[in-house]
Amino acid sequence: MTMASSAGSGDLQINDMIKKYSEARKLSDEESKNDPETNPYKSKYKARELLHEIRKELENSSEQGEDSKELKFRLALIQYQLGVNFLETEETSSGHEHLTKADKILKEYRLDSRCVTTALNTLNQLAILWCTRRDHSKAMEFLKEAQTVFHTFKKDVSSSPSIIHELLLPETDFPSDLEREREFENCYTLTLYYLAQVFEKQGDKTLAARYCHMTLQRQLSTFQYDPIDWALNCATLSQYYITQDDYTKARHCLASATRIFSEAENKPIPEDMERDDRDARQENITSRKADINRCWIKYCISLLQFSKEHELNGTLENASSTPSASNDRIETPSIAEDEQTECGTEEDKLADRFESLELTSLESQVRDEVVRTFDEARSLFLPAQKWINAAKEYYVIDGFVSDHIELVKDHSQLFKLISFFEIDFERRCKMHKRRVDMLADMLDGLNRQHFLTICRQLMFELAETYSEMMDLKIALAEKQRVPPTHKVASKINVLCKQSLTYYQDFIHSTKDHEGKLPDKFESDVLRPVLVAYFCVGRLYSKFVTPSPPERLDYLQLSLDSYKAIVDYCDKNPDHKDTVKDELDLCREMTELIPLRMANIRGEIQMR
């Protein structure tokens, strides 16, 4: 056979592979979407057969003595595609086998521009595979390898990286250098996204947030994002910054999410879209917008809580106007030293803001500084209340019970927090009354058997709210510096009784079907139940009555509640630490209350 005829045969063989590869891609990427539910992988299996045919042809060429790099790279590409195919059909072991073969072939050639994108994709897929096996350390190894490959290639190789399919594409379909670069960059963006997920699984929330931020930044700069997904991920990232008391970054993320989400809202619906698809699209937009609103709500609640704690701790005088400025936890962690040395990475230059977005009007909706006054608190309360009402339009009680009640509880928290900054006690009481109305309305409408956990939460919060109102009424009475009038005393006692009712309802909700309290409380209710007993003991001591016998009765009930906690902890010493502080006070009260009762009895005898 002449060299010319040999070359011609090779060209025919490659053309045949290109046709089969193109058909396999079409089957896998397009036709599989229309596979019947009874045979969901029909097209994937057909694609697999074609890939196996190409693999055998390449392996035969290798066995016949051909040893070109192009042959190796093509074989690695097919092994990679087979690996992905098996993973997509839930055949993990076979998927792992083919991906490992691809990685083994490419290991010494990873920096070759013809296969570097295939190498990155293979490492990413291996990381995903090990994540599904819950071996996150192994997944991290592959992702770190991918990181090193990317940065080393960018630093040391000047040629444009081929796209993953290029070795089995007809020349007429070869991409431009810009398209090649874009796919390479997008592949690395996925590496960063997977790193964020793995750091999250490993419990390193700081690095998880950092890599999530990098992913979002790269998606934005390359316009490679779905507006809804991007917005939701950015809003979720804000919740991490909230936990770090970094309200400037949290607000920026939320404003960015709202800005990008508007692209999805304003995008026209294609006229030829099926009605079901149109409805599903609108449903997705509505639900995700409600979720972003809920992230804004959590931001406002958290900043109010942060400000309240600083006020209580007396640290506002020394606090910066921006919470994050005085928070040492917010320092951006540096990437590992070996990566810095190897790569000189973009990660070292991570910007705190998405500079391409104009967010002035969105960020100005709410403050990011600590609250000191009622008016400042109100500037957070009002927009948060607006977002609650908007979210409730989607998360209605009929169909979204838990979500709807969570929004009601958020609304209650807003009233509770803003009341802290109100100096007028009467107005504070009215705010707590608003809480009572909305919480009681929810509780009355729930089936306690089906929604026991939620009902318990509402009972406890109602009990606390009535108790706060009672304390405010007592404080108002004490300001007068005269004994409370009968009307005031009656109001205090009514609030006492209402608080007691809900605490006792909460305690009784733990009884078994025979109406008996357990000898040992379950861990999820242990502390709440003991705290409820503690609060009941305190409430009985707050009743206002001129009658010494009545005072004795109330003190006895107070003593019984404190003793209930002491007796329980003595019988269950392994639970003592759950209410350590309260237990010490209870022991003290079981000694003091009998003395008070003895003094009252003495007064009665002297009359």
Q: How far apart are CA 237 and CA 257, in angstroms?
A: 10
**pLDDT the model gives residue 330:** 34
**pLDDT the model gives residue 324:** 52
Q: How far apart are CA 130 and CA 134, in angstroms?
A: 6
CA triple 528-533-536, angle to 5 deg: 120
The model's pTM: 0.84
**pLDDT the model gives residue 3:** 37
Contact 333, 209 (CB under 8 A): no
**pLDDT the model gives residue 370:** 95
Q: How far apart are CA 287 and CA 284, in angstroms?
A: 5
**pLDDT the model gives residue 482:** 77
Low-confidence ranges of the chain (pLDDT < 70): 1-12, 63-67, 315-351, 607
CA triple 338-339-343, angle to 5 deg: 125
What does the DSSP 8-state code read for residue 606? H
**pLDDT the model gives residue 89:** 94
Contact 476, 426 (CB under 8 A): yes
φ, ψ of residue 223 in degrees (nearest 5) = 60, 30
Distances (CA, A) of 565 to 170, 540, 573: 80, 15, 11
**pLDDT the model gives residue 344:** 41
Both tokens assigned to 111: 């920096």
